């Protein structure tokens, strides 16, 4: 009986190498004859490029090449493709503009790469990059979503009139209109979801090399899905057969979504390595990352909620503008549609929903998936709206939610926005979180805060997310240009140790531990004897990588399927060794036993027999013990829960302190509670970051005004309280583990809880709205404005 299987809080196997500083990241890879690339990037948000003069740069010491958009065109490199086609409500395809790897004739955002300087050292490349002369002709630009649809706004693409990429809708407009017509109350809210930068600890990097003997390429890259990168490069950008390109994503220091996408730099270093006859390495600078990593969120929405006289939800109407940036990144169109519109029912029982989403081009870097991707935006909108409704109707916020949450007996629950939730118990997670934060004692704590001159606020968010992306047929019908299954190979070695080859990629999520726990659970093998291999297209089966909190639910299920095949094959071998019929043999606690007897063979003995088949059922069973499986899920999984926050605000300075956070999530059957807690902690930190500190700002002309850590504020440990993390488990009904996803829950649930807490604290002063991030300045100004309005009203009366 193993104590290392599902449910064991094992420390992460991978921590040994990370804590010893022995991780091997892309920038750690230095190949013989290594050369280095530095990119010359547009300083304008929109400009015609009349000429790129590389004469001086080419003459500089150590320079091997300066490559431009003309070279990219001459070598017929393909443009960076978009992986998801969204159609507008009139049936037309989205506007899908070209995306050359190096700008050709026009630059469309600050940071758009124009030239690539390659030299024998990084310093030489950097020095020479300063010598590349670009003759720009600045053009009018639009840097902000709010301005991009105004009549006469500068166009990013002529083909996209009004800068509209697509105009999509979901739900039933007529039913929703009827619901609003019959409503006793209608609550309206305008809100923005701020733009954030992912800021993984390791910046992006890529190292490409060409092997003349094999006429093949190797690319080391900071990627969450090496096979997808290989597929896109083989089919669309580099144009080489897949077997001529090996993509390795070694240790990756965080991604949070931003490393899913195929970026120009990984294509360019690979292509250039053949031209210069040396490996070419590029490592992003931090300020370069702010300007070139895909950002997240950036929505402007108008939402309306219809309620009956008793506070029961009747309908929801949403109009959203979603920023795409200047080019379409790999999954960008899917984020504000199939990961947002489909989530607008949240955990609530809504009879009618209608959502319209316009995707808008601006002269900014691309916006794509960032931890949560669409689901935080849906949750933020709903939870702010529900709080506003409670206030407007004079109903307690918790009671209004309780009244409208989908009940446990309503599952499977078909929403009005396409998704069918398989299982959950939202009332249970709500009660658990309320207990954890001691909601009963809140008024006492509020009085104590007041005695210290502080305003205390309580914030709540009940949320749902869809993850474990997802059935290939469904996403295909919705416009995905890839399948979204997962693959695994289990190789049992002769002495019974096991290697797991997975198509998912771990870049901080602890797969080397949790996937080993699945092996321990199924085979009874110690996790010390399990090795998890990922991130190398030459070693792992074709898989779709890691995003959308899919690795446990989809990748883990593929592993379990392959383990079941191993167990079945082992049973035949064991039956032969035990001189029994396979039907009489069971596999329990790591041993094959003849049912009802004490005759048994340990798993290791069976594995040995498979590789030394002297006494073996050779006519019916092949030697060896290695099995593969592909797993395409039947549905998404639907984690959900309640996030509660208490804040204290200093009314003199506007500083908001998060003093308590209690969350209760349902992430299905838990493989490793310590890792699940850690994942929740990380997501919470990022969610609180967005709510209080972080925002990428472009000015009206598209200049990035806060692209450094001097200007872009990230949360630090001292800004966060100890989190109280609880779980209530309902097992996913359609995967073999019963697991749902946990990687994004914190970032999804907590931002509205923080803002709702801030507004709760400020409400007595007359503040009714505040946008993310609730910085001290913004809070202070809101307090002053409310005070001034109160004084004016007082005078008027
Ligand atoms: N797990 C578990 N029990 C469950 C669910 C999950 O033990 N019921 C474990 C899994 O086995 C895995 C971890 O928790 O070890 C996260 O699993 P899962 O929810 O499947 O998410 P993924 O592994 O697919 O990771 C992706 C997810 C996403 S989408 C983002 S964004 C994110 C996140 O994970 N980026 C991260 N967490 C991150 N953590 C780190 N350190 N770095 C990132 O870039």
Mean pLDDT of 9-14: 97
Cα–Cα dist 188/376, whole Å: 19
- Determine how β-strand 420-421 pairs with β-strand 413-414: antiparallel
Where does the pLDDT of residue 479 fall: very low under 50, low under 70, confident under 90, or very high at 90 and above? Answer: confident
Where does the pLDDT of residue 45 fall: very low under 50, low under 70, confident under 90, or very high at 90 and above? Answer: very high
Ligand 1 centre distance from Cα of residue 743 (Å): 4
Write the DSSP string, 578-600.
Answer: TTS-GGGEEEETTEEEETTSS-E
Ligand 1 contact via 668 beta carbon (within 6 Å) = yes
Residues near 309 by beta carbon (within 8 Å), at least 6 away in sequence: 184, 185
Question: Which of 512, 554, 743 maximizes ligand 1 atoms within 8 Å of its Cβ, making it the mutation to test the pocket?
Answer: 743
Mean pLDDT of 569-576: 98
Ligand 1 contact via 675 beta carbon (within 6 Å) = yes
Per residue in 715-750, pLDDT (tens digit) is 999 999 999 999 999 999 999 999 999 999 999 999
Residues near 164 by beta carbon (within 8 Å), at least 6 away in sequence: 95, 149, 358, 359, 360, 361
Per residue in 480-522, pLDDT (tens digit) is 888 889 999 999 999 999 999 999 999 999 999 999 999 999 9
Q: How many residues does the chain have?
A: 797
Ligand 1 contact via 730 beta carbon (within 6 Å) = no
**C-alpha distance across the termini of the chain, in Å:** 77
Do residues 705 and 711 touch, judged by C-beta distance below 8 A? yes
Q: In this predicted structure, what is the pLDDT of residue 796?
A: 54
Average pLDDT, the chain: 97
If one counts every other C-beta atom within 10 angstroms of the C-beta of residue 35, the result is 27
Per residue in 680-701, pLDDT (tens digit) is 999 999 999 999 999 999 999 9
Q: Name the E strands within 308-382.
A: 313-325, 353-361
Ligand 1 atom 37: residue of nearest CA = 743
Partners of 144 in the β-ladder: none
Ligand 1 atom 18: residue of nearest CA = 549
Cα–Cα dist 503/511, whole Å: 11
Ligand 1 contact via 682 beta carbon (within 6 Å) = yes
Ligand 1 atom 10: residue of nearest CA = 552
Per residue in 163-211, pLDDT (tens digit) is 999 999 999 999 999 999 999 999 999 999 999 999 999 999 999 999 9
Where does the pLDDT of residue 468 fall: very low under 50, low under 70, confident under 90, or very high at 90 and above? Answer: confident
Cα–Cα dist 766/787, whole Å: 8
Q: In this predicted structure, what is the pLDDT of residue 566?
A: 98
User: Per-residue pLDDT for 1 more than 60?
Assistant: no
Ligand 1 atom 35: residue of nearest CA = 256
Question: Which of 13, 679, 727, 729 maximizes ligand 1 atoms within 8 Å of its Cβ, making it the mutation to test the pocket?
Answer: 679
Ligand 1 atom 33: residue of nearest CA = 743
Partners of 321 in the β-ladder: 300, 358
Ligand 1 contact via 509 beta carbon (within 6 Å) = yes
Ligand 1 atom 13: residue of nearest CA = 509
Residues near 166 by beta carbon (within 8 Å), at least 6 away in sequence: 86, 87, 88, 93, 94, 95, 333, 358, 359
| H-state helical runs in 331-441 | 375-393, 397-404, 426-436
Which atom of ligand 1 has the smallest separation from the CA of 673?
7
Cα–Cα dist 233/502, whole Å: 21
Which atom of ligand 1 has the smallest separation from the CA of 546?
24
What is the H or E stretch that residue 458 is in? Answer: strand 455-464
Write the DSSP string, 484-500.
Answer: --EEEEEEE-TTS-EEE
Ligand 1 contact via 549 beta carbon (within 6 Å) = yes
Ligand 1 centre distance from Cα of residue 550 (Å): 8
Ligand 1 centre distance from Cα of residue 742 (Å): 6
If one counts every other C-beta atom within 10 angstroms of the C-beta of residue 208, the result is 29
If one counts every other C-beta atom within 10 angstroms of the C-beta of residue 612, the result is 11
Tokens of 213: 């003997």
Distance of CA 636 to the CA centre of its chain: 15
Where does the pLDDT of residue 471 fall: very low under 50, low under 70, confident under 90, or very high at 90 and above? Answer: confident
Helices 397-404 and 375-393, axial angle in degrees (round to 10)? 120
Question: Which of 374, 671, 687, 742 maximizes ligand 1 atoms within 8 Å of its Cβ, making it the mutation to test the pocket?
Answer: 742
- Report yes or no on whether pTM surpasses 0.95: yes
Residue of 460, 433, 484, 372 lying closest to 743 (CA atoms) = 372
Ligand 1 centre distance from Cα of residue 193 (Å): 24
Ligand 1 contact via 559 beta carbon (within 6 Å) = no
Cα–Cα dist 518/522, whole Å: 6
Helix (H, G, I), strand (E, B) or coil at 685: helix
Cα–Cα dist 507/253, whole Å: 6
Write the DSSP string, 202-261.
Answer: SPPEEEEEEETTTTEEEEEE--S-HHHHHHHIIIIIS---GGGEEEE--B----TTTTSS
Do residues 468 and 647 touch, judged by C-beta distance below 8 A? no
Q: In this predicted structure, what is the pLDDT of residue 476?
A: 87
Q: Name the E strands within 626-691.
A: 626-631, 640-649, 656-666
Ligand 1 contact via 331 beta carbon (within 6 Å) = no
Do residues 788 and 780 touch, judged by C-beta distance below 8 A? no
Cα–Cα dist 536/311, whole Å: 54
Q: Quick one: DSSP state of residue 89?
A: T
Residues near 680 by beta carbon (within 8 Å), at least 6 away in sequence: 663, 665, 723, 725, 742, 745, 746
Cα–Cα dist 697/339, whole Å: 24
Cα–Cα dist 148/360, whole Å: 7
User: Per-residue pLDDT for 419 more than 70?
Assistant: yes
Higher pLDDT, 477 or 619: 619
Ligand 1 contact via 223 beta carbon (within 6 Å) = no
Q: In this predicted structure, what is the pLDDT of residue 504?
A: 97
Ligand 1 centre distance from Cα of residue 254 (Å): 11
Distance of CA 476 to the CA centre of its chain: 20
Ligand 1 centre distance from Cα of residue 547 (Å): 8
Mean pLDDT of 293-301: 98
Ligand 1 contact via 222 beta carbon (within 6 Å) = no
Per residue in 586-635, pLDDT (tens digit) is 999 999 999 999 999 999 999 999 999 999 999 999 999 999 999 999 99
Do residues 266 and 223 touch, judged by C-beta distance below 8 A? yes
Ligand 1 centre distance from Cα of residue 427 (Å): 25
Per residue in 535-568, pLDDT (tens digit) is 999 999 999 999 999 999 999 999 999 999 999 9
Ligand 1 contact via 256 beta carbon (within 6 Å) = yes
Which atom of ligand 1 has the smallest separation from the CA of 747?
31
Q: In this predicted structure, what is the pLDDT of residue 482?
A: 84
Write the DSSP string, 537-589.
Answer: TTTS-S---S-TT-IIIIIIHHHHHHHHHHHHHHHHHHHHHTTS-GGGEEEET
Q: In this predicted structure, what is the pLDDT of residue 282?
A: 98
Ligand 1 contact via 254 beta carbon (within 6 Å) = yes
Ligand 1 atom 34: residue of nearest CA = 743
Ligand 1 atom 23: residue of nearest CA = 551
Ligand 1 contact via 743 beta carbon (within 6 Å) = yes
Helix (H, G, I), strand (E, B) or coil at 482: coil
Q: In this predicted structure, what is the pLDDT of residue 2?
A: 66
Ligand 1 contact via 728 beta carbon (within 6 Å) = no
Ligand 1 centre distance from Cα of residue 549 (Å): 5
Which atom of ligand 1 has the smallest separation from the CA of 511?
15
Which atom of ligand 1 has the smallest separation from the CA of 683?
37
- Determine how β-strand 353-361 pairs with β-strand 164-171: antiparallel
Ligand 1 atom 4: residue of nearest CA = 670
Cα–Cα dist 401/394, whole Å: 13
Which atom of ligand 1 has the smallest separation from the CA of 547?
29
Tokens of 173: 């407009």
Ligand 1 atom 25: residue of nearest CA = 549
Q: Name the E strands within 54-155.
A: 63-68, 106-107, 113-119, 133-138
Cα–Cα dist 692/753, whole Å: 11
Which atom of ligand 1 has the smallest separation from the CA of 224?
44
Ligand 1 centre distance from Cα of residue 252 (Å): 14
Per residue in 200-243, pLDDT (tens digit) is 999 999 999 999 999 999 999 999 999 999 999 999 999 999 99
Question: Which of 468, 549, 641, 735 maximizes ligand 1 atoms within 8 Å of its Cβ, making it the mutation to test the pocket?
Answer: 549
Ligand 1 centre distance from Cα of residue 497 (Å): 25
Do residues 514 and 14 touch, judged by C-beta distance below 8 A? no
Ligand 1 contact via 552 beta carbon (within 6 Å) = yes
Helix (H, G, I), strand (E, B) or coil at 699: coil
Query: Listing from the earlier edge strand, what are the strands of the sheet with 656-666?
Result: 455-464, 640-649, 656-666, 723-727
Cα–Cα dist 581/280, whole Å: 59
Cα–Cα dist 543/226, whole Å: 9
Distance of CA 254 to the CA centre of its chain: 11
Q: In this predicted structure, what is the pLDDT of residue 242?
A: 96
Q: In this predicted structure, what is the pLDDT of residue 793?
A: 73
If one counts every other C-beta atom within 10 angstroms of the C-beta of residue 311, the result is 18
């Amino acid at each position: 009986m193993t104590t290392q299987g599902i449910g064991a809080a094992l420390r992460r196997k991978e921590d040994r190498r990370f804590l010893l500083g022995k991780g091997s990241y892309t920038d750690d890879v230095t190949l013989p004859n290594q050369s280095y690339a530095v990119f010359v990037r547009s300083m304008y948000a929109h400009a015609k490029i009349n000429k790129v003069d590389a004469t001086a740069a080419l003459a500089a010491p150590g320079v091997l090449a300066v490559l431009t958009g003309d070279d990219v065109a001459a070598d017929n490199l393909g443009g960076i493709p978009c992986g998801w086609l969204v159609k507008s409500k009139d049936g037309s395809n989205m506007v899908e503009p070209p995306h050359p790897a190096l700008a050709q004739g026009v630059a469309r955002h600050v940071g758009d790469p124009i030239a690539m300087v390659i030299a024998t050292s990084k310093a030489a490349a950097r020095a020479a990059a300063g010598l590349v002369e670009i003759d720009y002709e600045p053009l009018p630009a639009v840097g902000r979503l709010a301005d991009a649809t105004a009549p006469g706004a500068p166009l990013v693409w002529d083909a996209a009139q009004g800068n509209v990429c697509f105009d999509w809708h979901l739900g039933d407009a007529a039913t929703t209109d009827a619901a609003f017509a019959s409503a006793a109350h209608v609550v309206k809210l305008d809100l923005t979801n701020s733009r954030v930068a992912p800021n993984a600890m390791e910046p992006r990097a890529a190292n490409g090399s060409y092997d003349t003997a094999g006429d093949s390429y190797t690319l080391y890259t900071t990627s969450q899905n090496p096979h997808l990168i290989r597929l896109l490069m083989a089919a669309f950008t580099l144009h080489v057969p897949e077997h001529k390109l090996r993509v390795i994503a070694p240790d990756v220091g965080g991604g949070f979504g931003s490393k899913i996408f195929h970026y120009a730099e990984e294509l360019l270093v690979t292509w250039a390595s053949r031209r210069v006859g040396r490996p070419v390495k590029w490592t992003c600078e931090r300020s370069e990352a702010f300007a070139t990593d895909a950002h997240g969120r950036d929505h402007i929405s108008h939402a309306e909620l219809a309620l009956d006289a008793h506070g029961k939800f009747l309908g929801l109407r949403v109009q959203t503008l979603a920023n795409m940036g200047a080019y379409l990144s790999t999954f960008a169109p899917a984020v504000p549609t199939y990961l947002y519109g489909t989530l607008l029912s949240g955990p609530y029982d809504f009879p009618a929903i209608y959502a319209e989403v316009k995707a808008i081009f601006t002269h900014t870097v691309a916006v794509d998936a960032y931890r949560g991707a669409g689901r935080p935006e849906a949750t933020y909108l709903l939870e702010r709206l529900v709080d506003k409704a409670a206030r407007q109707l004079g109903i307690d916020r918790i009671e209004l939610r309780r009244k409208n949450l989908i009940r446990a007996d309503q599952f499977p629950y078909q929403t009005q926005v396409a998704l069918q939730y398989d299982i959950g118990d939202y009332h249970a997670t709500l009660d658990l979180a309320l207990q954890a934060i001691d909601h009963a004692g809140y008024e006492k704590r509020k009085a104590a805060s007041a005695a210290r001159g502080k305003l205390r606020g309580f914030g709540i968010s009940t949320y749902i997310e869809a993850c474990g992306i997802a059935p290939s047929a469904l996403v295909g019908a919705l416009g995905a240009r890839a399948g979204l299954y997962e693959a695994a190979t289990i190789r049992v070695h002769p002495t019974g140790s096991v290697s797991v080859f997975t198509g998912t990629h771990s870049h901080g999520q602890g797969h080397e531990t949790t996937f080993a726990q699945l092996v321990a659970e199924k085979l009874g093998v110690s996790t010390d004897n399990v090795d998890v291999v990922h991130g190398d297209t030459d070693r792992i089966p074709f898989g779709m990588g890691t995003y959308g909190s899919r690795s446990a639910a989809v990748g883990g299920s593929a592993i379990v399927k392959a383990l079941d095949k191993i167990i079945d094959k082992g049973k035949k071998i064991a039956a032969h060794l035990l001189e029994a019929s396979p039907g009489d043999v069971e596999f329990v606690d790591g041993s094959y036993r003849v049912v009802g007897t004490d005759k048994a063979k340990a798993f290791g003995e069976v594995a040995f027999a498979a590789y030394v088949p002297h006494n073996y059922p050779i006519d019916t069973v092949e030697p060896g013990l290695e099995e593969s499986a592909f797993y395409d899920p039947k549905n998404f999984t639907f984690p959900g829960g309640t996030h509660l926050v208490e804040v204290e605000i200093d009314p003199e300075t506007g500083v908001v302190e998060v003093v308590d956070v209690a969350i209760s999530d349902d992430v299905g059957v838990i493989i490793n509670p310590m890792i699940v807690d850690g994942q929740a902690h990380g997501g919470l930190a990022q969610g609180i970051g967005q709510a209080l500190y972080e925002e990428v700002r472009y000015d009206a002309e598209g200049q990035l005004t806060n692209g450094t850590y001097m200007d872009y504020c990230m949360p630090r440990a001292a800004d966060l309280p100890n989190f109280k993390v609880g779980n209530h488990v309902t097992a996913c009904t359609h995967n073999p583990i019963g697991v749902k996803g946990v990687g994004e829950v914190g970032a999804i649930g907590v931002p509205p809880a923080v803002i709702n807490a801030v507004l709760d604290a400020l409400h007595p002063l007359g503040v009714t709205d505040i946008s993310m991030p609730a910085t001290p300045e913004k809070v202070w100004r809101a307090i002053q404005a409310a005070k001034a309005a109160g004084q004016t009203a007082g005078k008027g009366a």
